[in-house]
């Protein structure tokens, strides 16, 4: 049963600056709710929330709970995410005070149930696909509300309160909470085992996504994914390999490092050609899903073809940070072997085709990777090694634990050893900390390199750390 929001009840978000929490808090503030939150950080996201009327506390303590309870006759509703630990002092104070405590997913479920919604789920590509759906709707004057796990370039934010009929939400499967969502249209991009800290096996993940699908009025799914094809009964299917027997398809006729030209099909019939300014076949699949969702809402192909030309990926998805001493630095969120492989394949295409969305086509790929979670690294050690072996050289950041206890024998050093077993001649090294990592990039990179930093942790600080360093006098070969 979906919980109902009360416009007269204040809402308080513990950890309001988080990528998922801030989007919802901002939308509710824009809709006239009394919203507050706490976060020890001070950044542009929190400043934006303040400008929209959100009261932000810097301390997560019992005194914050006392402050939000004073001056109101209605007890506040406290919102937490899975990132808030049980021993958080502010959460414990809220529990002692007897305040109602909702998970972030409960609030999102209430928003989704409140209007026609498109919820995008899947192991890979859900942030990009939901961004593309929202961007296409925005470009075709449908002004959607959007709750996305990344910054949408069209909005400059991860959350937007639109005036249109649709809400677009990214449905995160990591903790299973997406089963609460009751959407007009559910979208599943693909499915393979991940989040092994929550799911024991692929079967349990499939069961969870089947519950998500059952909660949607209709389902749009990727027929190119063998797991979806075998275990799901979708209302609509899409493909980028075969237009027959599916509702939507796109077949590429020209693939390069800066774009893809493809023909769009509906029910096996060619509708027209379009140019996607996002390279890589994985992005073509994301775009077809987004176009299909928009077509089901009634947006014409003629409108979509024009809108597609202006599409941009969300933040941290092959995000060009700048050029440092003739090395182009890109930040990417890839943290699963399939994502790493797809990102490196796209980057390799830029090298081989001589075409790139970057200022210059790169000449060599230097992969900088930060393993994320001991459980994921242990489960996929060999798969990570295989994926990273596509690069011309690999530098590894220290493993980002994300709160997990260490697993003996699992580290960036063990991943380096696995890569060298697969590719003995590939230059590989692991750094003890992020400062040493930046030093290693400065020392071992070359002019013309694409320095591709991948991971879901704090490896995205690499660009700032590089800017603090001097121009390397000479690039030394990285020993294997």
Quick: pLDDT tens for 169-212.
999 999 999 999 999 999 999 999 998 888 999 999 999 999 99
393, β-bridge pairs = 366
Give mean pLDDT, residues 292-318.
Answer: 96
What are the start and end residues of each CATH 3.40.50.720 domain in the chain? Answer: 11-103
Q: How is residue 135 written in tokens?
A: 């961007």
Give the mean pLDDT of 347-354. Answer: 96
Nearest CA-CA partner of 276 in 292, 255, 295: 255
Where residue 429 falls among pLDDT bands split at 50, 70, 90? very high
Mean per-residue pLDDT, 440-468: 95
pLDDT given at position 474: 43
CA 195 to chain centre: 14
Whether the pLDDT of residue 480 is over 50: the answer is: no
Q: Does the domain at residues 11-103 carry the CATH identifier 3.40.50.720?
A: yes
pLDDT at site 403: 87
Q: What is the pLDDT of residues 20-64, one digit of tens each?
A: 999 999 999 999 999 999 999 888 899 999 999 999 999 999 999
Residue 59: the pLDDT is 92
> What number is the average pLDDT over the span 448-474?
88
Write out the two tokens for 460.
């995205």
pLDDT for the residue numbered 475: 45
| Residue range 201-258, pLDDT digits in tens | 999 999 999 999 999 999 999 999 999 999 999 999 999 999 999 999 999 999 999 9
Q: How far apart are the C-alpha atoms of 237 and 245, rounded to whole Å?
A: 8
The dihedral built from the CA positions of residue 76, 80, 85 and 86, taken in this order, carries a sign that is positive
pLDDT of 310 > 70? The answer is: yes
pLDDT at 469: 85
Give the residue range(s) of CATH 3.40.1190.10 domains in the chain.
115-308
How confident is the model over 321-349, as a mean pLDDT? 96
- Considering the four listed CATH numbers 3.40.1190.10, 2.170.120.20, 1.10.3810.10, 3.30.310.160, the one that applies to the domain covering 115-308 is 3.40.1190.10
**476 has a pLDDT exceeding 70:** no
Q: What is the predicted pLDDT for the residue at 275?
A: 98
User: Could you give the 3-state DSSP secondary structure of residue 219?
Assistant: strand
| C-alpha span between 78 and 96 (Å, rounded) | 12
CATH 3.90.190.20 residue spans of the chain: 319-467
Return the pLDDT at 264: 98
Averaged pLDDT score across all residues of the chain: 95
Distance from C-alpha of 129 to C-alpha of 132, rounded to nearest angstrom: 5
Mean pLDDT of 454-459: 96
Answer for the pair 144, 167: CB distance below 8 angstroms, yes or no. Answer: yes
Q: Above 80 in pLDDT, residue 355?
A: yes
Nearest Cα residue to 427 out of 438, 416, 437, 442: 416
- CATH 3.90.190.20 holds for 319-467: yes
Least confident stretch, 71-75, 141-145, 268-272, 404-408: 71-75
Per-residue pLDDT tens for 382-422?
999 999 999 999 999 999 999 899 999 999 999 999 999 99
This prediction's pTM: 0.90
pLDDT at 470 over 80: no
More reliable by pLDDT, 472 or 205 = 205
pLDDT at 292: 98
């Amino acid at each position: 049963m979906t919980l109902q929001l009360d416009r007269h009840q204040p809402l308080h978000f513990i950890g309001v600056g988080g990528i998922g929490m801030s989007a919802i808090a901002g939308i509710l503030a824009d809709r006239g709710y009394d919203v507050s939150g706490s976060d020890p950080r001070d950044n542009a996201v929190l400043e934006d929330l303040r400008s929209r009327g959100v009261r932000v506390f810097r301390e997560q303590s019992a005194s914050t709970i006392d402050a939000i309870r004073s001056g109101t006759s209605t007890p506040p509703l406290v919102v937490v995410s899975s990132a808030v630990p049980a021993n958080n002092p502010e959460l414990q104070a809220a529990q002692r005070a007897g305040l109602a405590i909702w998970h972030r997913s409960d609030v999102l479920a209430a928003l989704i149930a409140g209007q026609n919604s498109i919820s995008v789920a899947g192991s890979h590509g859900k942030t990009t696909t939901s961004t593309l759906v929202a961007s296409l709707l925005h470009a075709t004057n449908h002004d959607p509300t959007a709750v996305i796990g990344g910054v949408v370039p069209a909005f400059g934010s991860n959350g937007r309160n639109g005036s249109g009929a649709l809400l677009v939400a990214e449905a995160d499967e990591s903790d299973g909470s997406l089963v609460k969502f009751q959407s007009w249209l559910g979208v599943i991009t693909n499915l393979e085992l991940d989040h092994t800290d929550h799911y024991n096996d692929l079967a349990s993940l499939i069961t969870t996504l089947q519950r998500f699908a059952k909660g949607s009025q209709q389902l749009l799914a990727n027929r190119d994914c063998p797991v979806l094809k075998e275990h799901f009964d979708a209302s609509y299917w899409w493909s980028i390999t075969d237009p027959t027997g599916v509702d939507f398809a796109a077949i590429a006729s020209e693939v390069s490092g800066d774009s893809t030209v493809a023909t769009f099909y509906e029910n096996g019939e060619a509708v027209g050609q379009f140019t996607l300014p996002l390279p890589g076949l994985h992005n073509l699949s994301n775009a077809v899903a987004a176009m299909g969702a928009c077509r089901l809402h009634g947006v014409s192909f003629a409108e979509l073809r024009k809108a597609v030309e202006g599409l941009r990926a969300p933040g941290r998805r092959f995000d060009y940070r700048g050029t440092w001493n003739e090395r182009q630095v890109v930040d990417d969120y890839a943290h699963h072997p399939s994502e790493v492989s797809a990102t490196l394949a796209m980057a390799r295409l830029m090298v081989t085709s001589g075409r790139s969305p970057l200022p210059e086509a790169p000449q060599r790929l230097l992969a900088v990777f930060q393993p994320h979670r001991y459980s994921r690294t242990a489960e996929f050690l060999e798969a990570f090694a295989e994926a990273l072996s596509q690069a011309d050289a690999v530098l590894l950041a220290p493993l980002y634990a994300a709160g997990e206890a260490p697993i003996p024998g699992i580290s960036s050093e063990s991943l380096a050893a696995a890569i060298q077993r697969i590719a003995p001649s590939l230059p590989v090294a692991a750094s003890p900390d992020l400062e040493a990592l930046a030093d290693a990039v400065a020392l071992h990179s070359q002019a013309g390199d694409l320095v591709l930093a991948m991971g879901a942790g704090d490896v995205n600080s690499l660009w700032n750390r590089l800017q603090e360093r001097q121009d390397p006098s000479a690039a030394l070969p990285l020993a294997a």
